[in-house]
Each structure stands twice: as C-alpha cells, then as structure tokens.
Amino acid sequence: MSSADLSAPAGRRAPFAFTGGAVIGALGGLIGLGGAEFRLPLLIGAFHFAALQAVIFNKAMSLVVVAAALPSRASAVPLSALAEHWSIILNLLCGSLLGAWFGAGWATRLASQSLYRVIAILLFGIAGVLLFGHDVATSGAVLTGAAQVIAGVAAGFAIGVVAALLGVAGGELLIPTLVLLFGADIKLAGSLSLAVSLPTMLVGFARYSRDRSFVVLGENKGFMLVMAAGSILGSFIGGWLLGLVPSPILLPLLAVILMISAVKVWRH
C-alpha cells in the first residue's frame, strides 16, 4: 500500500499520528534519544508506508526532532564546550557524511523486500546496543593518535550508513562511540552526537531528495507536522520522566519492543 492510500482519511489519521509521535518521543526521551528507531516500525506496520517511504519520512521527522533538541541541549552543554572538541566532530563527520550518502543511495536501489529485511536486521542491532552499549561509562579513550583517527572515520562511516538506512539521527550508536573511542563525558557525548548527526542527516536527506519516493513528504505534509508535534512533546515528557523507570527494567523492555518490531518488519 502506498503512502497516498493510507487506510484512514487525513483528518482521522491526525489524532493517531499525534499520539503515536508522543508515545515514541517519550520512549526516546526516557533513554536520552529521539525515538526514531521506534517510529520506523510504527510507520511501516500501523500506517502502512512502504519501506523506502517510511525511511524518508522517518529521516524528515528525525531532522525536526533533533533541530528542536539543540536549544535545550545548549543550556546544559554550551556551544563553547562543543567548539573545544571540534576535532572529534570533524573526525566522525569525515566518515559519517560519506556513509550517509552511500547508505541513502543503497536504500534507493534495494528492492522493497530486501530493504524490509535490512531494516529488520538493523533494528535487532539497535536492540543489542540498548542492552549492552547504552550505559557505557567514561574510562578514557581506548585509542589515541592515528589509530583513533582511523577508527573514528570507520565508525562514522558505519553510523552514517545505519542512520541513512533507518532514517534515524544515530545517537544510539554515536554516544557509545564518543564515550568509548574518545573518552567523552556522557553529557558532552549527547551534545557532540547532535553536532555530528545533524549534518549527517542533511546529507542523507539530500541524497533521498533525488529519488521519486521523496514525494511522500509532500503527499503527507499535514500528517508529518502533526506527528512531529507529538514527537517533540513526547520527548520533553520522556526527559521529564527520566530516572523514574530504572534502566535495568527500561532498556531490556525497549530492546524487546525493537526485537518484536524487527520480526514484524522482516515478515512484512
């Protein structure tokens, strides 16, 4: 079913779009992320977007949510602190920009069924990161010098590919990379990840704009704005509730949700 043939009229879809966006934004806010990895299965399963259309739509939504998150992060981590770590941002961008362009181009060439399966596999991978890589602690950079630079470019490339294929910001992968590879403090890593993910998403978005499936945004402009509003509201609610649900309970629960979603996407 194409995006233009979604099962309900636009007016009736709006409340579901807002509610779905809010719930997903809250889930993301609870773990300090945008929630795009949860939004993608919803777009495919509940709203019946085709694989590539769902990825493009998710990418647009991620851009909106990340742009809205930047001002709130600036109050906790000033821009001057980010500027002091410009070399880390540049190091990762050298790989992530290329990865985003490559990943988006690959997605547009994949058959729909193949893209569903790639998405399912990556969702399983993100679930694993939630379980084992989200609560990493700063213990100093694991590499230094040229080895760190090479590893940073390689990690950035891989993250750029994944972010493009799923239409996500990539924070769930960037934050552990910044903490482990560069020894960044977890709060600083959250802001650095935004500084890397925003230009990376723009490159992926630009590549997707050359594909005919990009019309999904124009055809569903109202739907996107309503869901974006819900996502932004939900992310603030999730951030406010942060800490009320213990991570040892929350992260496995969210990982299970992603795994179930991955199975459903695989079978779509």
Q: What is the pLDDT of residue 242?
A: 65
List Cβ neighbours of 98 (8 Å cut-off, separation of 6 or more): 157, 160
User: By residue range, what is the domain housing residue 125?
Assistant: 11-266
Name the domain count of the chain. 1
**b/e map of 204-240 (b: 16 or more CB within 10 Å)?**
bbebbeebebbebbeebeebbebbbbbbbbbbbbbbe
pLDDT band at 9 (very low <50, low <70, confident <90, very high): very low
Residue 212 placed within a domain:
yes
Query: Residue holding tokens 């690959």?
Result: 106
pLDDT band at 144 (very low <50, low <70, confident <90, very high): confident
**CA-based R_g, the chain, Å:** 17
Residue 1 placed within a domain:
no
Q: What are the structure tokens assigned to 57, written together?
A: 């739509």
Residue 246 placed within a domain:
yes
pTM of the model: 0.87
CB neighbours of residue 241 within 10 Å: 12
Q: Which of 143-147, 148-152, 249-253 has the lowest mean pLDDT?
A: 249-253
Residue 19 placed within a domain:
yes
Residue 2 placed within a domain:
no
List Cβ neighbours of 225 (8 Å cut-off, separation of 6 or more): none
Residue 172 placed within a domain:
yes
